[in-house]
Structure 1
Amino acid sequence: MSMFNAPKGIPEYYPPESARFLAVRDTLGEAARRAGYGYIELPLFEDTALFARGVGESTDVVTKEMYTFPDQGGRSITLRPEGTAGVIRSVIEHGLDRGQLPLKLYYSGAFFRYERPQAGRYRQLQQVGVEAIGVDDPALDAEVIAVADEGYRRLGLTGHRIELTSLGDSTCRPEYRVKLQEFLRGLPLDEETRRRVELNPLRVLDDKRPEVQEMVADAPLMADHLSEQAAEHYESVKAHLRDLGVPFTENPRLVRGLDYYTKTTFEFVHDGLGAQSGIGGGGRYDGLMADLGGSELSGVGFGLGLDRTVLACEVEGVSVGDETRCDVYCVPLGEQGKRRLVSIAGQLRAAGLRVDVSYGGKGLKGAMKAADRSGARYALVLGDRDLEADSVQLKELATGEQRSVSLEDVVEQVRTVLAR
């Protein structure tokens, strides 16, 4: 047995299954690149105050789920629980918002939240995210949603849906907050939920407990109290989504778990995943940059969960990712054959092919079993007799067909057969 185990609630991806994870990550990232988003690499940890201020001190993320610790200099450090606050911090710090707007960025990597581990809910979660900063345009909101939808569809997913709403703006949210608090204060809520009513009443609507859901069934909804400007913005977003051919379902009860969202808010849901059905989501955040010390620029973005998307692919039986390790497997018979095949393997890799070699002095039978397990299409077998003839045996593994190829021409011959 192993002396050590991975920390609880941390998924690991290893061959051959890791090919699916890589394909999901790369496909979602490619959808962002095609829409003009440039890559940004962010720190895994930041000053704790960034998340307390940016995400919201009353959110579950900040109060219950962050991995926070003092470093050796006594500074309070937090492993990043989400990506948007870090992106905005970087934009402000490096003056990225002083160029052409909107500034369009995407990122990928690990994020950390202390939660009760279960299928699709992990303490280390992987995401691909985008942020479009500096322009308050409903068409940009629609583009962000469409980019995520395109990524999922390019993976072959069909069982997801988009839930959409508006959380209003600074002119209508305060009045709605008062109405919602008045309603919630009249309910027989527990003490912790009552405190939430005073700090962040919208989060009460997102409480998953059936008894709370029943009590708030008649609560006033933000969608019914939008300002004229916020309502026009929302209608325009929906019109652009229809023009883009992106289907959506309106959900006026949709609430995201972070405080910075305003106006457009959305979530991608996959019912095949059970309780953890959300596979991605996001929205607009008009005041976040100013709250973090920057200019008064708005933004819109999303975070897509790679772990849950991988699970969604499994549920739908969608095959993504090439699980084969190589195109060609080299089988040397003897030390002289090994020296030559190792050299040939280097030449083939330089030509852009995936090549592995049988190391450790395996016999022919064991080496050919390894070749089959590698998923390679062809094997190169080189023994003493082949060396004397200045040739190598090229074997197609699926059919067993084998022919002799000149050592001088082997790289070109292999490239030719693999191109067929």
Structure 2
Amino acid sequence: MSLVKVKGTYDVLSSEARRWQALETYVKAVFKKFNYQEIRTPIMEYSNVFHREDENSDMVTKETYNFEDKGGRMLTLRPEGTAGIIRSYIENKLYATNDLVKLWYMGPNFRYERPQKGRFRQFSQFGVEVVGAMDPYLDAEVIQLAYEIIKGLSLKGVSVKINSLGDKASKQNYMKVLKAFLEPKKDQLSPDSQARLDKNPLRILDSKDPVDKELLKDAPLPLDHLSDEAKLNFEKIQEALALAGVEYKIDKRLVRGLDYYSFVVFEIQADIEGFGSQNALGGGGRYNELVESLGGPSKPGVGFAFGMERLLDALELEGIKMVDEPKLDAYFITFDETSKKEAMKLQSLLRKENISVDLNYSGKAFKGQLKEALAQNAKFLLILGENELNMGKINVKNTKTEFQELIDIKDLVINLKEMLHHV
């Protein structure tokens, strides 16, 4: 039996890992600039963290990986980051010492869905959660942060789409209006939308089914059914976004896939050729009831998440390289046991000076070693033959200029540091 990776997962090989590391480093730097602090939570939680009475999204009802542990406890691999972070916020009583916590996270999530380009059953996300304040200027900051991350990557056609679902009361009233509009058309809706009509009618607005789209053309929209409080909140968010220099468009049909959202929701989209119709790179919104529904105090929150794989795909399609090809500072070429021993000793000295260096361990002849050194983009060759050793010398060759000089072995570290300074 041949061993293969699990369906919907992938291997990040060393050549790809550099791209991941570069993106991670960039994102962390932006979070630092906005004064957000890191939080790390387990990839598995007790199932009731996600499977709550107030959450009927497809992600939770259809796509979670659930299992029973040896103690008979039901566990779930996290399908998204927010609920686990709120569980941690409550359990560790972060609200007792901080009126407002601004957190960022990064890591894998798991959903049992149909694998397709840019979408996997194990996938990585980064995002933020801000808990403790209901402030339109804070909502604007979170949107600005999401926008700056994407805009700073030099992607083209980046746009911000915003909408408001209103407060709890106006959201519930709207869903009654929407349901009344759709009930007479129920038999014409797609099977998924028929199932959503009773439990989650708001999600029907996000349907990609052509028949659903046609039926929804004249449907009532959340923005037209806001309470006065929700209207004022949305106006202030728009004013704050303008102050922050963030251009945006109102998308009245925009909803997010999780039931806990209320008030503002948003997406960051990019118009990228070959990216398909699903052009959203990430998004989020406000969730004022989630903390309380998980057993915590009444604390409002807002956040967003981006898929790492989608973002890396977008960068590749746009031809944006965040990292150069790796270059090795030096590569030892040896010819026998004696020269290899000397290379091992010198290699340790060089690495202590933060010089990247390697040698061949496969017993290859000179040509094979040279080929390997060039394949690793070595800047210098360090050649240790019998003649060099007898003289206490080493040949140092610049692979770009092909200039070669014989220097004392004892002076290798200081001389090579100087040479590297000029390449």
CA change 1:261–1:329 in 2 (3 A) is: farther
Aligned runs of 1:178-257 on 2, under 5 Å? Answer: 178-189=176-187, 190=189, 193-257=193-257
**Paired residues of 2:327 and 2:379 also in contact (CA < 8 A):** no
Q: Does 1:383 align with 2:381?
A: no
**Paired residues of 2:158 and 2:268 also in contact (CA < 8 A):** yes
Following superposition, the deviation at residue 181 of structure 1 comes to 1.4
Please give the per-residue CA displacement for 1:194-216, whole angstroms capped at 9, x wherever unaligned.
34222111011111101001101
Please give the per-residue CA displacement for 1:176-196, whole angstroms capped at 9, x wherever unaligned.
122111111121345653342
CA change 1:388–1:312 in 2 (3 A) is: same
Instruction: State the AA in 2 paired with 1:102.
Output: L
Following superposition, the deviation at residue 67 of structure 1 comes to 0.9
1:414 maps to which of 410, 413, 416: 416
Q: Which residue of 2 aligns with 1:116?
A: 114
Q: Which residue of 2 aligns with 1:29?
A: 28
Q: Which residue of 2 aligns with 1:349?
A: 351
Q: Which residue of 1 aligns with 2:142?
A: 144
CA change 1:206–1:352 in 2 (3 A) is: same
Normalized against structure 1, the TM-score is what?
A: 0.93
Please give the per-residue CA displacement for 1:44-66, whole angstroms capped at 9, x wherever unaligned.
11111111128x54210011111
2:278 and 2:10 mapped to 1: Cα distance? 15
CA change 1:46–1:242 in 2 (3 A) is: same
Q: Which residue of 2 aligns with 1:171?
A: 169
Q: Which residue of 1 aligns with 2:40?
A: 41
2:242 and 2:396 mapped to 1: Cα distance? 54
2:411 and 2:297 mapped to 1: Cα distance? 62
CA change 1:232–1:407 in 2 (3 A) is: farther
SS at match of 1:257: coil
> Gaps (5+ residues) in structure 2?
none
Please give the per-residue CA displacement for 1:25-60, whole angstroms capped at 9, x wherever unaligned.
221222112211111111111111111128x54210
Q: Which residue of 2 aligns with 1:12?
A: 11
Instruction: State the AA in 2 paired with 1:228.
Output: D
CA change 1:360–1:161 in 2 (3 A) is: same
**Paired residues of 2:330 and 2:358 also in contact (CA < 8 A):** yes
Q: Which residue of 1 aligns with 2:101?
A: 103
CA change 1:230–1:406 in 2 (3 A) is: farther
Instruction: State the AA in 2 paired with 1:318.
Output: I
Deviates more, 1:213-222 or 1:317-326: 317-326
Deviates more, 1:82-91 or 1:186-195: 186-195
CA change 1:323–1:3 in 2 (3 A) is: farther
CA change 1:360–1:136 in 2 (3 A) is: same
CA change 1:396–1:59 in 2 (3 A) is: same
2:263 and 2:228 mapped to 1: Cα distance? 12
Deviates more, 1:161-170 or 1:345-354: 345-354
Aligned pair count reads 418
Following superposition, the deviation at residue 255 of structure 1 comes to 1.0
Deviates more, 1:241-250 or 1:32-41: 241-250
Identity of aligned pairs, percent?
39
Q: Which residue of 2 aligns with 1:316?
A: 318
2:137 and 2:418 mapped to 1: Cα distance? 47
Instruction: State the AA in 1 paired with 2:31.
Output: A
CA change 1:117–1:325 in 2 (3 A) is: farther
2:157 and 2:388 mapped to 1: Cα distance? 54
Q: Which structure's relative contact order is higher, taking Cα pairs within 8 Å and 6+ residues apart? A: 1
How large is the Cα RMSD of the aligned pairs? 2.0
> Gaps (5+ residues) in structure 1?
none
Q: Which residue of 1 aligns with 2:397?
A: 395
**Paired residues of 2:174 and 2:222 also in contact (CA < 8 A):** yes
1:4 and 1:96 mapped to 2: Cα distance? 45
Please give the per-residue CA displacement for 1:192-246, whole angstroms capped at 9, x wherever unaligned.
5334222111011111101001101111111112222222222222222222222
Q: Does 1:50 align with 2:49?
A: yes
1:196 and 1:127 mapped to 2: Cα distance? 26
